[in-house]
Amino acid sequence: MPTPPAYALVATDLDGTLLRPDDTVSARSRAALALAASAGARHLIVTGRPVPGIRALIADLAYTGLVVCGQGTQLYDADSARLL
Domain interval for residue 48: 9-83
Number of domains in the chain: 1
Q: Which residues make Cβ contacts (< 8 Å) with residue 43, sequence separation at least 6?
A: 9, 10, 11, 12, 33, 36, 37, 63, 65
**Distance from C-alpha of 45 to C-alpha of 10, rounded to nearest angstrom:** 8
In a domain, 4, yes or no: no
In a domain, 71, yes or no: yes
Q: Which CATH number covers residue 15?
A: 3.40.50.1000
In a domain, 39, yes or no: yes
Q: What is the pLDDT of residues 1-57, one digit of tens each?
A: 666 667 899 999 999 999 999 999 999 999 999 999 998 899 999 999 999 999 999
In a domain, 57, yes or no: yes
Using alpha carbons, list the distances in angstroms from residue 64 to 1, 21, 42, 58, 61: 28, 24, 10, 8, 9
In a domain, 54, yes or no: yes
Q: What is the pTM of this model?
A: 0.86
In a domain, 24, yes or no: yes
